[in-house]
Structure 1
Amino acid sequence: MKFLVSFLLLFVAFSLQAQTYTLKGKVVDKNQEPLAGATIVITDLEKGTSSDFDGKFTFALPKGNYVIKVSYVGFRTGYFNQTIQQDEDIVIELDLENDVLDEVLVSAVRVKADAPVTHSNLTKKEIAKRNLGQDIPMLVNYLPSVISSSDAGAGVGYTYLRVRGSDATRVNVTINGIPYNDAESQGTFWVNLGDFASSTENLQLQRGVGTSTNGAGAFGASLNILTDAVSEEAGGEISNSFGSFGTRKHTVKYTTGKLNDHFELAGRVSNIYSDGYVDRAFTDLKSYFLQGSYTDDNTLIKALVFGGKERTYQAWYGLSAEELEEDRRQNPYTYENEVDDYQQDHYQLHWNEQLNKNWSTNIGLNYTRGKGFFEQFKDGESAADYNNLIVDDSDVIVRRWLDNHFYVANGNATFRNDNLEIISGVSYSEYFNDHYGEIIWGSDLADGTNIKDRYYFSDAQKSDFSIFSKANFKLSPSLKAYIDLQGRFVSYDTGGITSDINPIDIDTNFSFFNPKVGLTYTINDTFSLYASYARANKEPNRNDFEGNPNVLHESLNDFELGWRFNSERVNMNTNIYYMDYNNQLVLTGAIDDVGEYLRENVKDSYRLGIEIDGTFLITDELTFQSNLAISTNKINNLTIERDGQTVNLGTTNIAFSPNIISGSSLTLKPTDNFQISLLGKYVSSQYLSNTDTEASKIDGYFTNDLNLVYEIKTNKIFKSIIITGLINNLTNKKYVDRGYTYLDYWSGPTSFEVQGYYPQATINFLAGVTFKF
């Protein structure tokens, strides 16, 4: 509870110092709509605050002349001169920045600061502080209720994100409003988007069901990513970083700026390589990002092409307890080409049109092409496991392929006036995927077998259509309402033979209605309350159907109650959530033969928790940020098959759901161009299974990172040189943050290994330098 105590002590300790005069203000757009969460800085004093839910802010200032800098995502940053000789009350109007795409690409899936949805935002500037080659899950690790992990242990390659105990299959990810989760597995594979953080303008993480979004439903959270904004001026950067375990990142970016006041071309190429903390768990990522845009007073058209190719040595099997004790960096794989080799390319087109003062429209199109394989050596195999293409007890090398196409079309229209905003839209996607395995070598092939003959094949098609309408409106000057209605219709068809040489024949349809409602009540300039209810439904993924053709879809009722406080030196958000599931597909703790976690329906389960996050400006140079999540996550009346018998275990804990998650940072900024941050992350113990088996419990851990950023302003060649350093796991903690187990199914010891762990890196560093021009 020391984290909660620190929150309360800091909150009580702060008091605003009385000044000679009071400057009150309100930040609005051209329609006089308040902009909640705008950043206001008195540049002369390096003193800043944020606007509240009605766009209002307050400063206590001595007599004098000041320059006020006001910025808000999606609007042009404004500079305003203000003389203070008495108390002042001003209105600051910001102009919409046509080149920034928040209002264009992500308005349909994002929420504003005062919405009754629990969320956190991360800006490009905040991302850049630690962007030294690690993937996006590692960069959002310090947001509330978030846990990140990686197979290779160093945060590069196959990385994972959990929110409120929910894994990647329950976290809906969109890029510029386009679904990114794999349509069949519902997972998110960041390894295919190497260095994507370098092309991210900002992101929003909504916890719980959140707002209606495109693609698979959010069952734990949704992560909405906005890519690089259009730049007014020409420029570029060269970034290189190096670190432990042979990690290195090389990035080159450029932009032409606005050409003829309308056109912009920009791009990035990157290469990331790491040997991995785990032996031979190397990662080689090559990626690119290209965009072209056209803007005028009422139109924005943007075309993007981005993607990458990855080659990753496998480390998904983890280590047994004995192997972990013997050498936590060892890798049980010995075949030199035990690799994942995959390429994914995305093509997006977005067109936004401002029709008049009240109406705007947006159309988004996407095509994603993915193809690649996983190569594996196996010895002494059975002929039946390879469709009789080999002789019994043969050695074999196989490649298991995915070959897919993903098409998306989104469209929405927005109506906005002083008291009402309505966004309505549709999204349609089609996904085609071939699953097949081929033999590329065998010690004893069956007669008639040729190299690259396929030993299994199945094709799949999935369509997803959704229609939604969401409205924000004022019921009174202090009360705002939110309504969001979505219909979602899914069709999934797959047939053939699986990699286990089992037939698969699924042809099913789902129709879901997902309503969401909420209220925000503003008590005064600093306090507001919100409450919301959201329902979500979600279809099973391919692995679920392979394990059980009669698997059920799952449903969730999500209740959120929150309190927000926003003052000049203290910003706090507190919320209580209750997520009530029906037929939740929980992870069993077991994995399949390619490291994917298996799931099964449980009839009745829930997650109940409280989340607190805050920012405290201790002095103008010292800032403390912290978040704390305390939860209980239960399955009611869990029944399993153990030793051939059905056993009722009563109420148990949900796997991979620690009761306490906390993150913090203490940042010292003695000058404008230098800052140093000490970051901390605490995760309590958790079970790898749903049966409360003590042998499947892993210990909690507390780690610290040290982050330094120093910027050198130059007058020749470069605009600036930024030096960044990051020491991860400063205290050299030896810990594992996840694993797998089969202990649910046997009451006593077994003759084979039933449990595995994924060790994370001990103390390590990353250092980089960026030249901006």
Structure 2
Amino acid sequence: MKGFIFFGLIASPFYFAQNTVQDSIKTKEIESINFLKRLPVTKEIINVEKDLGSKNLGQDLPILLKNQMSVISTSDAGNGVGYTGFRIRGVGGTAINVMMNGVPYNDSESQGTFFVNVGDLTSSASQIVIQRGVGTSSNGVSAFGASVNVLTKNPEEKFYVKSDDSYGSFNTYKYSAEVGSGKFWKDRLSLMGRYTTIHSDGYIDRAFSDLNSYNFTALFEQSNTKLRFMAFGGKEKTYQAWNAIDRKTWETNPKFNNSGAIYDANWENIVDFYDNETDNYRQNHYQLLWEQNLSDNWNLETTFHYTKGKGYYENYKQDAKFSKYNLPDLIIDNQTIKRTDFIRKKWLNNNFYGGVSTLYGKFENLDLNFGLVGNRYEGKHYGNVSGVYFPEIFEHEYYRNNGTKTEFSGFAKGIIKINQFELYGDLQLRNIDYVTSIVQQGDGEGAVHDKNWLFFNPKAGINYKINSGKLFFSYAHAHREPNRDDLFANPEIQPEKLHDFEAGLEKSFGAVSFTTNLYYMNYVNQLVLNGQINDIGEFIRVNSGKSYRMGIEIGALAKLSEQWNISGNFTLSKNENKDFKNETETGFENLGDTPISFSPSVIGNVLLNYAPTNNFSLGVQNQYVGSQYLDNTNNKELQLNDYFLTDFNAKYTLNLKRTEIDFKFLLNNIFNKKYVNNGFVYDQTPYYFSQAGTNFMFGMSFKFK
């Protein structure tokens, strides 16, 4: 089976979407996408409705992207709902610059991306732009693996009412309602709103998810002015599933989850589970996008944004010391009580706001972009405990610390056409201030830092146009600051530096589109995952000195007939630390060149689609992921096995008068493969995040227009 798949991979590998935007403000958005297509960088432009619509039944966005080039998606709960993430070219989410309409989405302090906070985001998106490598300068932090920009859709021009409902394995269901006003007020204004609720019990024991999300968009268009206001966000409650399980447990009871476990007095047997061992968070985003045509050659886009986030995660802390939570020992009946059971809540209350402005200039043989960015993040971290057996201890605050991060950056980039050549230049300057303070000291909570970084990130490239395609080469130099956890673990940790070289070919042969890309990413002080996690399931990173990622990415889309098409992608890479030094209890040991953690050397996908009629389609998606290590020590005992997955989807559309009904079916992992794609190392023992076997989703979509 694998041999057949790899023949297909080599013969016709990658899906390279080149769809135009189809919404109400077409002209400038098409120009913006066309400008991106011209850049000598590796990229995918995904049309959400066409490419992901048949699979969008409730799973999170990272899961829906799992068959894209060099992508591996992960799920804590095992079935793609709740806490999910992705890696691109082996690089984790903290090094992937995620944006919403060009506004940074990564958390400013952790640099993580938490899609659980914006459930059903895919239903609000029109396009997703993925740039692998450093890519072009953007409004978020520097990309050290990729950048992903989610472009939300605009209101439609005519009135409609829509409902998306689905149900599937593990009691997973989704209810969504959406309404669009169409254009009114002399065709200048249009509105759109959506509300979604998603629930899943999860594949892992008790790993339930309750996600509620919304999106509201108002679009005003008149003459040379376009204003778009968006409010979107969500509220999530998920049972914690970030502890994972050791290999022996995975082999015998892969669904086991020890989060919330309550043990007997001897700490030998689990006697119960705390039913509210949960993560609770609400996040609201507000964006005002202003587009102004200044002349035939110049266009200005300015975005003001504000994000409010607040929430906590809750744990049952058994037999904990009073002193750990800044509480005095209790004296009852002349007996001193030093320990008891607590309910602990650790809070995060943050604000993120700023402005992004880009000036576009378009001339006969020259395109220019100038950008200015100013963002500020304010985060409050605090925790409290309540006594399980002592009700007089209630919501006692035992620590509080703050963090503020301010960034000002600017970029200038342009592309000039000279005969068959296009020359590209890009200069970016970033200034970041990050200050942390302790208001109330807690046990190991917080630290005091006052950091400043000034980064200059130049980029350059060249295209050479050929018949129905182009050749390109680019170089990018980038820097990236460490995140909050990096600094707290090691105040002397160094920023990352990256020299990224990309060379590629894009070519069409009639019904076949082909692309191939060579890359070499040379890191200095790359922050790599050491395979360990902290107490809230976040992976710990260390400077690895010098390291590199190099590889080839190949892909194609072939239209075999009116009914059949096949697409695929294949990544072959080498990812190594140079002279890696491993920290032990007695010092450092030099392990020489070692593989970078979570970086398989082979990733491949083959997608086959059959559409016997215009309203009926069937699809099969195959993915192969090679073996990968959980840490950087090259220890075979800490290696995840390779795996091969096959998914199936079907869609049938029933067109009635003014009503369109879609029936969708998704069957994941149809061969019931037992596999792991994520984990960590604790005390030299591998821990796994189990993934679900065969599972399904069935959905119906009604649209009245």
Normalised-by-shorter TM-score class: over 0.9
Counterparts in 2 of 1:605 and 1:348: CA distance versus 1, 3 Å:
same
Residues 367 and 498 (structure 1 numbering): CA distance in 2 closer, same or farther, change over 3 Å? farther
> Is the Cα–Cα contact under 8 Å of residues 436 and 499 in structure 1 kept in the other structure?
no
Following the alignment from structure 2 to structure 1, what is the Cα–Cα distance between the partners of residues 626 and 131?
Answer: 23
SS for the counterpart of 2:637 is helix
Q: Deviations over 1:513-552 (max 9, x none)?
A: 011111111122x242110001110000000011011111
- Select which of 193, 212, 215 maps to 1:267: 193
> Are 1:252 and 2:177 counterparts?
yes
The answer (yes or no) to whether the contact 2:160–2:180 under 8 Å persists in 1 is: yes
Match of 1:234 among 143, 150, 159: 159
SS at match of 2:251: helix
| Residue 680 of structure 2 corresponds to residue 731 of structure 1 | no
Report the CA distance between 1:234 and its aligned residue: 1.1
| 2:460 partner letter | V
Q: Match for residue 38 of structure 2? A: 114
Structure 2 letter corresponding to 1:161: F
CA–CA distance in structure 2, aligned partners of residues 480 and 298 of structure 1:
30
Instruction: Quote the offset at 1:368 in angstroms.
Output: 0.4
Whole-Å separation in 2 of the counterparts to 1:521 and 1:281: 52
| CA distance in 2 between partners of 1:648 and 1:424 (Å) | 46
Structure 1 531/431 Cα, relative in aligned 2: closer, same or farther at 3 Å? same
Distance in structure 2 (CA, Å) of the matches to 1:274 and 1:666: 29
The answer to whether the 8 Å contact 2:12/2:568 transfers is: no
Partner of 2:693: 762
Instruction: Determine the structure 2 residue equivalent to 1:31.
Output: none
Q: Give the letter aligned to residue 408 of structure 1.
A: G
Distance 1:262 1:648 in 2: 66
Give me the TM-score of the superposition, normalised by structure 1. Answer: 0.85
Tell me which residue corresponds to 2:447.
504
Unaligned runs of 5+ in 2: 260-272, 330-336
Residue of 545, 548, 558 corresponding to 2:487: 545
Q: Which amino acid aligns with 2:631?
A: S
1:742 alignment counterpart? 682
Residue type of the alignment partner of 1:190: F
Q: Look up the equivalent residue of 1:614 and give its one-letter code.
A: A
The reply to whether residue 98 of structure 1 matches residue 25 of structure 2 is yes
**Given that residues 17 and 47 in structure 2 are in contact (C-alpha distance below 8 angstroms), is that contact kept between their aligned partners in structure 1?**
no
Equivalence for 1:291: 217
CA apart distance, 1:453: 1.6
2:302 matched to 1:302? no
Equivalent residue, structure 1, for 2:116: 191
Write out aligned runs for 1:81-160 (5 A): 97-98=24-25, 102=29, 112-125=36-49, 126-160=51-85
For residue 352 of structure 1, the aligned residue among 259, 279, 291 is: 291
What is the alpha-carbon distance in structure 2 between the residues aligned to residue 607 and residue 245 of structure 1?
38
Question: Which residue does the alignment assign to 2:104?
Answer: 179
TM-superposed deviation, 1:742 = 3.1
- Following superposition, the deviation at residue 123 of structure 1 comes to 0.7
Q: Which residue does the alignment assign to 2:579? A: 637
Distance in 1, Cα, partners of 2:197 & 2:441: 34
**Which residues of structure 1 form unaligned runs of 5+?**
12-35, 40-71, 77-96, 745-753
Q: What RMSD in Å do the two structures reach over aligned CA positions? A: 1.9
In structure 1, the partner of 2:268 is none
CA contact (8 A) 1:101 1:226 kept: no
Change (3 A) 1:293 1:532: same
The 5 Å alignment of 1:39-50 reads none
Q: Please state how far the C-alpha of 1:326 moved relative to its aligned partner.
A: 2.1
* Secondary structure in structure 1 of the residue aligned to 2:223: coil
Deviation at 1:385, TM superposition (A): 2.5
SS class of match (2:79): coil
Deviations 1:301-321, CA, capped at 9 Å, x for gaps? 011111100000000001111
Is residue 257 of structure 2 the alignment partner of residue 318 of structure 1? no
Amino acid across the alignment from 1:733:
K
Superposed displacement of residue 443, structure 1: 3.6
Distance apart, 1:631 and its partner CA: 0.5
Note if contact 1:136-1:196 (Cα within 8 Å) is conserved in structure 2: yes
Asked if the contact 1:111/1:117 (under 8 Å) is kept, the reply is: no
More contact order relative to length (CA 8 Å, sep ≥ 6): 2
Letter aligned with residue 589 of structure 1: G
Partners of 2:212 and 2:12 lie apart in 1 by: 45
Deviation at 1:297, TM superposition (A): 2.7
SS in 2 for 1:328: coil
Say which is worse superposed, 572-581 or 327-336, in terms of deviation. Answer: 327-336
Q: Which position in structure 1 is the counterpart of 2:8? A: 6
SS in structure 1 opposite 2:591? strand
Q: Which one of the candidate residues 517, 523, 530 is aligned to 1:588?
A: 530
- Are residues 266 and 277 of structure 1, via their aligned partners in 2, closer, same or farther at CA, if it must alter by over 3 Å? same
| Structure 2 residue aligned with 1:719 | 659
Q: Deviations over 1:604-643 (max 9, x none)?
A: 0000110011101112211001000010100001112224
Instruction: Output the CA distance in 1 between the equivalents of 2:494 and 2:441.
Output: 20
In the alignment, structure 1 residue 483 sits paired with structure 2 residue 441: no
1:420-439 matched pairs, under 5 angstroms = 420-439=366-385
Q: Secondary structure of the residue that 1:695 maps to in structure 2?
A: helix
Deviation at 1:8, TM superposition (A): 4.9
How far apart are 1:664 and its partner, in Å? 1.6
Which residue identity does 1:403 align to in structure 2? N
1:409 aligns with 2:334: no
Q: How does 1:669-708 map to 2 (within 5 A)?
A: 669-708=611-650
Q: 1:633 to 1:429 in 2, by over 3 A?
A: same
Normalised to the residue count of structure 2, the TM-score between the two structures is 0.93
